[in-house]
Amino acid sequence: MAWQAAELEQFPALTWDLIAPQASVAIRGALERVLEKQDGAWLTDEERYALANCDGADLLALLVAADTLRRDLVGNIVSYVVNRNINFTNICFVGCKFCAFSRGPREADSYFHSLEDMGRKAKEAWELGATEVCIQGGLPRDLPPFYYRDILRAVKNATPDMHIHAFSPMEIVYGVELTGMTLRDYLMMLRDNGLDTLPGTAAEILDDEVRHVLSRNKLSSTQWQEVIRTAHACGIPSTSTLMYGHRETPDHWVRQLSLFRQIQTETGGFTEFVPLGFVHQNTLLFQQGLARTGPTLAEHLKIHALARILLAGSIRNIQVSWVKLDRKLSQLCLRAGANDYGGTLMEESISREAGATAGEYTSPEDFQALILEIGRIPAERNTKYSRIKIKLPVVEGRASSPVQAERSSALAGGHGNPGFAIERTQAPEFA
Protein backbone atom coordinates (compact mmCIF):
# COMPACT_ATOMS: atom_id res chain seq x y z
CA MET A 1 0.00 0.00 0.00
CA ALA A 2 1.01 3.63 -0.47
CA TRP A 3 2.11 5.53 2.62
CA GLN A 4 0.82 8.98 3.50
CA ALA A 5 3.30 11.86 3.78
CA ALA A 6 2.97 12.04 7.56
CA GLU A 7 3.84 8.36 7.84
CA LEU A 8 6.78 8.66 5.46
CA GLU A 9 8.23 11.54 7.46
CA GLN A 10 8.57 9.22 10.43
CA PHE A 11 10.85 6.72 8.68
CA PRO A 12 14.08 7.91 10.42
CA ALA A 13 12.72 6.40 13.66
CA LEU A 14 12.78 2.93 12.09
CA THR A 15 15.65 0.45 12.25
CA TRP A 16 16.49 -2.24 9.75
CA ASP A 17 15.64 -4.99 12.22
CA LEU A 18 12.21 -3.44 12.72
CA ILE A 19 11.25 -2.77 9.09
CA ALA A 20 12.94 -5.70 7.30
CA PRO A 21 10.38 -8.33 8.40
CA GLN A 22 7.59 -6.15 6.98
CA ALA A 23 9.17 -5.92 3.52
CA SER A 24 8.49 -8.39 0.72
CA VAL A 25 10.85 -11.34 0.43
CA ALA A 26 12.30 -10.12 -2.88
CA ILE A 27 12.98 -6.55 -1.75
CA ARG A 28 14.37 -7.63 1.60
CA GLY A 29 16.68 -10.14 -0.06
CA ALA A 30 18.00 -7.57 -2.55
CA LEU A 31 18.66 -4.97 0.14
CA GLU A 32 20.30 -7.44 2.50
CA ARG A 33 22.68 -8.51 -0.27
CA VAL A 34 23.74 -4.91 -0.92
CA LEU A 35 24.14 -4.24 2.79
CA GLU A 36 26.33 -7.31 3.11
CA LYS A 37 28.44 -6.70 -0.01
CA GLN A 38 28.33 -2.88 0.23
CA ASP A 39 28.11 -2.82 -3.55
CA GLY A 40 25.10 -2.23 -5.80
CA ALA A 41 26.72 -4.31 -8.54
CA TRP A 42 25.32 -7.42 -6.85
CA LEU A 43 21.76 -6.49 -7.83
CA THR A 44 20.09 -7.95 -10.90
CA ASP A 45 18.28 -5.67 -13.37
CA GLU A 46 14.98 -7.09 -12.14
CA GLU A 47 15.87 -6.15 -8.56
CA ARG A 48 16.92 -2.62 -9.56
CA TYR A 49 13.60 -1.97 -11.27
CA ALA A 50 11.71 -3.51 -8.37
CA LEU A 51 13.47 -1.21 -5.89
CA ALA A 52 12.76 1.83 -8.06
CA ASN A 53 9.05 1.01 -8.19
CA CYS A 54 8.60 -0.13 -4.58
CA ASP A 55 5.96 1.27 -2.23
CA GLY A 56 4.58 0.81 1.27
CA ALA A 57 6.76 -1.23 3.64
CA ASP A 58 9.18 -1.97 0.78
CA LEU A 59 9.80 1.76 0.35
CA LEU A 60 10.42 2.19 4.06
CA ALA A 61 12.86 -0.71 3.91
CA LEU A 62 14.66 0.96 0.99
CA LEU A 63 14.99 4.24 2.92
CA VAL A 64 16.27 2.58 6.09
CA ALA A 65 18.68 0.32 4.19
CA ALA A 66 20.04 3.30 2.23
CA ASP A 67 20.78 5.22 5.40
CA THR A 68 22.36 2.15 6.99
CA LEU A 69 24.56 1.76 3.91
CA ARG A 70 25.41 5.47 3.95
CA ARG A 71 26.64 5.16 7.52
CA ASP A 72 28.74 2.11 6.64
CA LEU A 73 30.25 3.61 3.49
CA VAL A 74 30.78 7.30 4.24
CA GLY A 75 30.17 7.63 7.96
CA ASN A 76 28.19 10.29 9.81
CA ILE A 77 29.83 13.34 8.32
CA VAL A 78 27.64 15.62 6.19
CA SER A 79 29.81 17.84 4.04
CA TYR A 80 29.29 21.09 2.14
CA VAL A 81 31.42 23.48 0.09
CA VAL A 82 31.56 27.24 0.46
CA ASN A 83 30.99 28.55 -3.04
CA ARG A 84 29.36 31.21 -5.16
CA ASN A 85 27.04 30.47 -8.05
CA ILE A 86 27.53 32.84 -11.00
CA ASN A 87 25.13 32.71 -13.93
CA PHE A 88 26.96 35.02 -16.31
CA THR A 89 23.95 35.56 -18.57
CA ASN A 90 20.28 34.62 -18.68
CA ILE A 91 20.05 35.16 -22.45
CA CYS A 92 19.48 31.84 -24.18
CA PHE A 93 18.20 30.54 -27.52
CA VAL A 94 17.79 26.85 -26.55
CA GLY A 95 14.22 27.09 -25.24
CA CYS A 96 14.08 24.31 -22.63
CA LYS A 97 10.47 23.87 -21.52
CA PHE A 98 11.51 23.06 -17.95
CA CYS A 99 13.46 26.33 -17.57
CA ALA A 100 12.03 29.64 -16.35
CA PHE A 101 15.46 31.29 -16.14
CA SER A 102 16.21 32.11 -19.78
CA ARG A 103 15.36 35.41 -21.47
CA GLY A 104 15.49 36.82 -24.96
CA PRO A 105 18.17 39.45 -25.65
CA ARG A 106 15.62 42.30 -25.77
CA GLU A 107 13.68 41.44 -22.62
CA ALA A 108 13.82 44.06 -19.89
CA ASP A 109 15.33 41.76 -17.26
CA SER A 110 17.94 40.10 -19.48
CA TYR A 111 21.57 40.53 -18.46
CA PHE A 112 25.11 39.66 -19.52
CA HIS A 113 27.92 40.06 -16.99
CA SER A 114 31.20 41.40 -18.31
CA LEU A 115 34.49 39.64 -17.79
CA GLU A 116 35.34 42.34 -15.25
CA ASP A 117 32.12 41.52 -13.39
CA MET A 118 33.05 37.85 -13.32
CA GLY A 119 36.45 38.60 -11.82
CA ARG A 120 34.90 40.95 -9.27
CA LYS A 121 32.26 38.41 -8.21
CA ALA A 122 34.93 35.72 -7.80
CA LYS A 123 37.09 38.04 -5.70
CA GLU A 124 34.11 38.96 -3.50
CA ALA A 125 33.38 35.28 -2.98
CA TRP A 126 37.01 34.52 -2.10
CA GLU A 127 37.04 37.31 0.48
CA LEU A 128 33.88 35.81 2.02
CA GLY A 129 35.58 32.44 2.41
CA ALA A 130 34.50 30.66 -0.79
CA THR A 131 36.85 28.08 -2.25
CA GLU A 132 34.79 27.48 -5.43
CA VAL A 133 32.85 29.39 -8.03
CA CYS A 134 30.24 27.52 -10.04
CA ILE A 135 29.80 29.21 -13.42
CA GLN A 136 27.06 28.45 -15.92
CA GLY A 137 24.77 30.53 -18.07
CA GLY A 138 22.35 30.69 -20.90
CA LEU A 139 23.48 30.21 -24.49
CA PRO A 140 23.29 33.56 -26.28
CA ARG A 141 23.64 33.79 -30.03
CA ASP A 142 26.87 35.22 -31.43
CA LEU A 143 28.90 34.55 -28.30
CA PRO A 144 32.58 35.32 -28.98
CA PRO A 145 34.18 31.98 -29.91
CA PHE A 146 36.59 31.86 -26.97
CA TYR A 147 34.39 33.53 -24.38
CA TYR A 148 34.30 30.52 -22.02
CA ARG A 149 38.11 30.50 -22.02
CA ASP A 150 38.11 34.24 -21.35
CA ILE A 151 35.80 33.80 -18.34
CA LEU A 152 38.27 31.33 -16.87
CA ARG A 153 41.15 33.75 -17.39
CA ALA A 154 39.23 36.60 -15.78
CA VAL A 155 38.40 34.54 -12.70
CA LYS A 156 41.91 33.10 -12.34
CA ASN A 157 43.46 36.55 -12.73
CA ALA A 158 41.27 37.85 -9.92
CA THR A 159 41.52 34.76 -7.68
CA PRO A 160 44.40 32.47 -8.68
CA ASP A 161 43.60 29.84 -6.04
CA MET A 162 39.84 29.67 -6.62
CA HIS A 163 38.50 26.32 -7.81
CA ILE A 164 36.49 26.83 -11.00
CA HIS A 165 33.57 24.44 -11.44
CA ALA A 166 32.11 25.56 -14.72
CA PHE A 167 30.23 24.99 -17.97
CA SER A 168 27.65 22.29 -18.52
CA PRO A 169 28.11 19.73 -21.31
CA MET A 170 25.63 21.83 -23.33
CA GLU A 171 27.95 24.84 -23.02
CA ILE A 172 30.93 22.68 -23.95
CA VAL A 173 29.17 21.50 -27.12
CA TYR A 174 28.34 25.14 -27.94
CA GLY A 175 31.96 26.17 -27.38
CA VAL A 176 33.17 23.42 -29.71
CA GLU A 177 30.71 24.64 -32.35
CA LEU A 178 31.84 28.25 -31.94
CA THR A 179 35.57 27.53 -32.16
CA GLY A 180 35.63 24.64 -34.62
CA MET A 181 38.03 22.78 -32.33
CA THR A 182 37.78 19.09 -31.55
CA LEU A 183 36.04 18.25 -28.29
CA ARG A 184 39.23 16.95 -26.71
CA ASP A 185 41.33 19.95 -27.76
CA TYR A 186 38.64 22.36 -26.58
CA LEU A 187 38.40 20.73 -23.15
CA MET A 188 42.17 20.66 -22.79
CA MET A 189 42.30 24.35 -23.66
CA LEU A 190 39.73 25.11 -20.94
CA ARG A 191 41.61 22.90 -18.48
CA ASP A 192 44.87 24.69 -19.21
CA ASN A 193 43.17 28.04 -18.64
CA GLY A 194 41.75 27.17 -15.23
CA LEU A 195 38.79 24.82 -15.58
CA ASP A 196 39.07 22.44 -12.62
CA THR A 197 35.82 20.46 -12.68
CA LEU A 198 32.74 20.24 -14.86
CA PRO A 199 29.09 20.30 -13.68
CA GLY A 200 27.31 17.19 -14.91
CA THR A 201 24.19 19.23 -15.56
CA ALA A 202 22.18 19.30 -18.82
CA ALA A 203 21.65 15.57 -18.25
CA GLU A 204 18.04 15.81 -17.05
CA ILE A 205 16.89 12.38 -18.23
CA LEU A 206 19.30 10.68 -20.64
CA ASP A 207 16.54 9.27 -22.79
CA ASP A 208 16.15 11.05 -26.12
CA GLU A 209 12.40 10.45 -26.34
CA VAL A 210 11.88 12.32 -23.08
CA ARG A 211 14.56 14.89 -23.92
CA HIS A 212 12.74 15.76 -27.15
CA VAL A 213 9.76 16.89 -25.08
CA LEU A 214 11.86 18.69 -22.45
CA SER A 215 14.01 20.53 -24.98
CA ARG A 216 14.22 19.54 -28.63
CA ASN A 217 17.22 21.84 -29.19
CA LYS A 218 19.37 20.43 -26.42
CA LEU A 219 22.32 18.11 -26.84
CA SER A 220 21.51 14.43 -27.20
CA SER A 221 22.14 11.73 -24.62
CA THR A 222 25.07 10.49 -26.71
CA GLN A 223 26.60 13.97 -26.85
CA TRP A 224 26.27 14.38 -23.07
CA GLN A 225 28.06 11.09 -22.51
CA GLU A 226 30.80 11.98 -24.99
CA VAL A 227 31.50 15.30 -23.25
CA ILE A 228 31.65 13.68 -19.82
CA ARG A 229 33.84 10.78 -20.88
CA THR A 230 36.21 13.07 -22.78
CA ALA A 231 36.42 15.51 -19.84
CA HIS A 232 37.30 12.66 -17.50
CA ALA A 233 39.94 11.45 -19.97
CA CYS A 234 41.41 14.96 -19.97
CA GLY A 235 41.71 14.92 -16.19
CA ILE A 236 38.62 17.06 -15.57
CA PRO A 237 36.32 15.39 -12.99
CA SER A 238 32.59 16.09 -13.03
CA THR A 239 29.41 15.66 -11.08
CA SER A 240 26.51 13.53 -12.34
CA THR A 241 22.87 14.62 -12.18
CA LEU A 242 19.31 13.47 -12.87
CA MET A 243 16.18 15.64 -12.98
CA TYR A 244 13.14 13.88 -11.55
CA GLY A 245 9.47 14.65 -11.00
CA HIS A 246 8.37 15.74 -14.51
CA ARG A 247 7.38 13.08 -17.09
CA GLU A 248 9.99 10.41 -16.44
CA THR A 249 9.36 7.09 -14.68
CA PRO A 250 11.38 5.22 -12.03
CA ASP A 251 12.61 2.94 -14.82
CA HIS A 252 14.37 5.97 -16.31
CA TRP A 253 16.10 6.48 -12.95
CA VAL A 254 17.43 2.93 -13.00
CA ARG A 255 18.79 3.20 -16.53
CA GLN A 256 20.49 6.52 -15.81
CA LEU A 257 22.04 5.40 -12.53
CA SER A 258 23.26 2.24 -14.27
CA LEU A 259 24.81 4.38 -17.00
CA PHE A 260 26.58 6.55 -14.42
CA ARG A 261 27.90 3.43 -12.75
CA GLN A 262 29.22 2.19 -16.09
CA ILE A 263 30.93 5.50 -16.83
CA GLN A 264 32.44 5.58 -13.35
CA THR A 265 33.87 2.09 -13.89
CA GLU A 266 35.45 3.28 -17.13
CA THR A 267 36.75 6.69 -16.01
CA GLY A 268 36.52 7.14 -12.24
CA GLY A 269 35.76 10.80 -12.92
CA PHE A 270 32.48 11.41 -11.07
CA THR A 271 32.84 13.18 -7.72
CA GLU A 272 29.18 12.85 -6.73
CA PHE A 273 25.61 12.20 -7.83
CA VAL A 274 23.04 14.98 -7.47
CA PRO A 275 19.30 14.30 -7.87
CA LEU A 276 17.58 17.49 -9.02
CA GLY A 277 13.88 17.78 -8.31
CA PHE A 278 11.81 19.41 -11.06
CA VAL A 279 10.46 22.79 -9.91
CA HIS A 280 7.30 23.10 -11.98
CA GLN A 281 5.46 26.30 -11.07
CA ASN A 282 6.75 28.76 -13.67
CA THR A 283 7.72 26.39 -16.48
CA LEU A 284 6.17 25.84 -19.90
CA LEU A 285 6.53 22.09 -19.43
CA PHE A 286 3.99 22.19 -16.62
CA GLN A 287 1.83 24.98 -18.01
CA GLN A 288 1.38 23.08 -21.29
CA GLY A 289 0.32 19.94 -19.41
CA LEU A 290 3.46 18.01 -20.33
CA ALA A 291 4.63 17.32 -16.77
CA ARG A 292 3.24 16.48 -13.38
CA THR A 293 3.38 18.90 -10.47
CA GLY A 294 6.91 18.12 -9.42
CA PRO A 295 8.08 15.24 -7.24
CA THR A 296 6.05 13.74 -4.40
CA LEU A 297 7.61 13.26 -0.98
CA ALA A 298 7.97 9.56 -1.78
CA GLU A 299 9.84 10.38 -5.01
CA HIS A 300 12.19 12.82 -3.27
CA LEU A 301 13.13 10.23 -0.68
CA LYS A 302 13.19 7.27 -3.05
CA ILE A 303 15.60 8.74 -5.62
CA HIS A 304 18.17 9.61 -2.94
CA ALA A 305 17.86 6.18 -1.34
CA LEU A 306 17.88 4.36 -4.66
CA ALA A 307 21.04 6.21 -5.69
CA ARG A 308 22.81 5.16 -2.49
CA ILE A 309 21.86 1.51 -3.04
CA LEU A 310 22.48 1.30 -6.79
CA LEU A 311 25.68 3.38 -6.79
CA ALA A 312 27.24 1.70 -3.75
CA GLY A 313 30.78 0.66 -4.63
CA SER A 314 30.90 3.20 -7.44
CA ILE A 315 29.96 6.84 -6.72
CA ARG A 316 30.36 7.41 -2.98
CA ASN A 317 28.86 10.89 -2.51
CA ILE A 318 25.12 11.54 -2.82
CA GLN A 319 24.18 15.21 -2.62
CA VAL A 320 20.91 16.93 -1.75
CA SER A 321 20.07 19.98 -3.86
CA TRP A 322 18.86 22.23 -1.05
CA VAL A 323 17.70 24.98 -3.44
CA LYS A 324 14.99 22.63 -4.72
CA LEU A 325 13.98 21.34 -1.26
CA ASP A 326 12.77 22.98 1.91
CA ARG A 327 14.67 22.76 5.19
CA LYS A 328 12.83 19.71 6.54
CA LEU A 329 12.86 17.81 3.25
CA SER A 330 16.59 18.34 2.76
CA GLN A 331 17.18 16.84 6.20
CA LEU A 332 14.92 13.87 5.41
CA CYS A 333 16.87 13.19 2.22
CA LEU A 334 20.09 13.26 4.22
CA ARG A 335 18.53 10.55 6.37
CA ALA A 336 17.61 8.52 3.27
CA GLY A 337 21.17 7.88 2.12
CA ALA A 338 22.64 11.27 1.17
CA ASN A 339 25.83 12.65 2.74
CA ASP A 340 26.43 16.08 1.20
CA TYR A 341 24.59 19.42 1.30
CA GLY A 342 26.15 20.90 -1.85
CA GLY A 343 27.28 24.51 -1.85
CA THR A 344 26.35 27.73 -0.12
CA LEU A 345 25.86 29.23 -3.64
CA MET A 346 25.42 32.89 -2.48
CA GLU A 347 23.66 33.81 -5.74
CA GLU A 348 21.34 31.01 -6.94
CA SER A 349 18.76 32.07 -9.53
CA ILE A 350 17.85 29.18 -11.87
CA SER A 351 15.73 27.24 -9.36
CA ARG A 352 14.31 30.45 -7.89
CA GLU A 353 13.07 31.61 -11.30
CA ALA A 354 11.30 28.27 -11.74
CA GLY A 355 9.43 28.78 -8.47
CA ALA A 356 11.67 27.28 -5.77
CA THR A 357 11.35 28.96 -2.40
CA ALA A 358 14.39 27.65 -0.49
CA GLY A 359 16.29 30.90 -1.10
CA GLU A 360 19.46 31.95 -2.88
CA TYR A 361 22.02 31.39 -0.13
CA THR A 362 22.59 29.09 2.80
CA SER A 363 25.44 30.15 5.06
CA PRO A 364 27.98 27.69 6.49
CA GLU A 365 26.43 28.36 9.90
CA ASP A 366 22.99 27.41 8.55
CA PHE A 367 24.38 24.18 7.12
CA GLN A 368 26.10 23.37 10.41
CA ALA A 369 22.88 23.91 12.36
CA LEU A 370 20.82 21.78 9.95
CA ILE A 371 23.35 18.97 10.12
CA LEU A 372 23.65 19.03 13.91
CA GLU A 373 19.84 18.97 14.20
CA ILE A 374 19.79 15.47 12.71
CA GLY A 375 22.66 14.22 14.85
CA ARG A 376 25.33 14.25 12.14
CA ILE A 377 28.76 15.86 11.95
CA PRO A 378 29.13 19.01 9.80
CA ALA A 379 32.25 19.42 7.72
CA GLU A 380 33.40 21.93 5.12
CA ARG A 381 34.96 20.25 2.09
CA ASN A 382 36.72 21.23 -1.09
CA THR A 383 35.17 20.54 -4.49
CA LYS A 384 36.87 17.19 -5.07
CA TYR A 385 36.17 15.87 -1.56
CA SER A 386 39.90 15.46 -0.97
CA ARG A 387 39.97 17.66 2.15
CA ILE A 388 37.39 18.39 4.82
CA LYS A 389 37.33 20.51 7.97
CA ILE A 390 35.05 19.19 10.69
CA LYS A 391 32.98 21.97 12.27
CA LEU A 392 32.06 21.29 15.88
CA PRO A 393 30.30 23.68 18.28
CA VAL A 394 32.27 25.12 21.17
CA VAL A 395 31.00 24.12 24.59
CA GLU A 396 32.86 25.31 27.70
CA GLY A 397 35.94 26.20 25.75
CA ARG A 398 36.30 22.94 23.84
CA ALA A 399 34.99 21.53 20.60
CA SER A 400 32.02 19.30 21.27
CA SER A 401 29.15 17.72 19.40
CA PRO A 402 25.94 15.80 20.06
CA VAL A 403 27.41 13.10 17.85
CA GLN A 404 30.69 12.87 19.73
CA ALA A 405 30.25 9.14 20.29
CA GLU A 406 29.85 8.56 16.57
CA ARG A 407 32.80 10.67 15.48
CA SER A 408 35.36 7.88 15.37
CA SER A 409 33.19 5.69 13.16
CA ALA A 410 32.51 8.62 10.86
CA LEU A 411 36.16 9.46 10.48
CA ALA A 412 37.38 5.92 10.11
CA GLY A 413 34.56 4.48 8.06
CA GLY A 414 33.45 7.32 5.88
CA HIS A 415 36.30 9.00 4.11
CA GLY A 416 39.10 6.54 3.60
CA ASN A 417 40.09 7.64 0.11
CA PRO A 418 43.82 7.81 -0.54
CA GLY A 419 44.99 11.37 -0.01
CA PHE A 420 41.87 12.36 1.92
CA ALA A 421 42.78 14.79 4.70
CA ILE A 422 40.57 15.57 7.69
CA GLU A 423 41.02 18.61 9.91
CA ARG A 424 39.19 19.30 13.15
CA THR A 425 38.34 22.94 13.65
CA GLN A 426 36.12 24.77 16.08
CA ALA A 427 33.06 26.61 14.89
CA PRO A 428 33.01 29.72 17.10
CA GLU A 429 29.63 30.75 15.74
CA PHE A 430 28.17 28.03 17.98
CA ALA A 431 29.91 29.30 21.10
Contact 272, 237 (CB under 8 A): no
CATH number reported for the structural domain that contains residue 329 in this entry = 3.20.20.70
The DSSP bridge pattern shows strands 421-427 and 163-166 to be unpaired
Proportion of the chain above pLDDT 70, given as a percent? 87
Give the pLDDT band (50/70/90) at residue 412. Answer: very low
pTM of the predicted protein model: 0.90
User: What is the structure's pLDDT at 353?
Assistant: 42
Within-domain flag for 142: yes
Q: Tell me, yes or no, whether 110 and 164 share the same domain.
A: yes
Q: Tell me, yes or no, whether 35 and 46 share the same domain.
A: yes
Give the mean pLDDT of the chain. 89
Q: Tell me, yes or no, whether 204 and 300 share the same domain.
A: yes
Most confident of 6-20, 40-54, 388-402: 40-54
Give the pLDDT band (50/70/90) at residue 95. Answer: confident
User: What is the structure's pLDDT at 408?
Assistant: 37
Q: Tell me, yes or no, whether 241 and 343 share the same domain.
A: yes
Q: Is the pLDDT score of 398 beyond 70?
A: no
Q: Tell me, yes or no, whether 365 and 263 share the same domain.
A: yes
Within-domain flag for 159: yes
Question: Which of residues 49, 74, 99 is at a domain's end?
Answer: 74
Question: Which of residues 74, 101, 135 is at a domain's end?
Answer: 74
Q: Tell me, yes or no, whether 180 and 230 share the same domain.
A: yes
What single-letter DSSP state applies at residue 202?
S
Q: For residue 426, report the phi and psi dihedrals to the nearest 5 degrees.
A: -80, 155
Q: Tell me, yes or no, whether 182 and 318 share the same domain.
A: yes
Q: Tell me, yes or no, whether 95 and 18 share the same domain.
A: no
Q: Tell me, yes or no, whether 223 and 296 share the same domain.
A: yes
Q: Tell me, yes or no, whether 44 and 97 share the same domain.
A: no
Structurally, the chain folds into a number of domains equal to 3
Does an H or E element contain 117, and which? helix 115-127
User: What is the structure's pLDDT at 425?
Assistant: 53
Q: What is the largest CA-CA distance in the chain?
A: 62
The mean-pLDDT minimum among 20-29, 216-225, 392-401 falls in: 392-401
Within-domain flag for 380: no
Within-domain flag for 383: no
Contact 197, 165 (CB under 8 A): yes
Give me the mean pLDDT over the 223-247 stretch.
98
Q: Tell me, yes or no, whether 111 and 258 share the same domain.
A: yes
Q: Tell me, yes or no, whether 165 and 290 share the same domain.
A: yes
Q: Who's near 430: CB < 8 A, 6+ residues apart?
A: 368, 392, 393, 394
Domain that holds residue 23: 5-74
Question: Each residue of 34-80: pLDDT tens digit?
Answer: 999 999 999 999 999 999 999 999 999 999 999 999 999 999 999 99
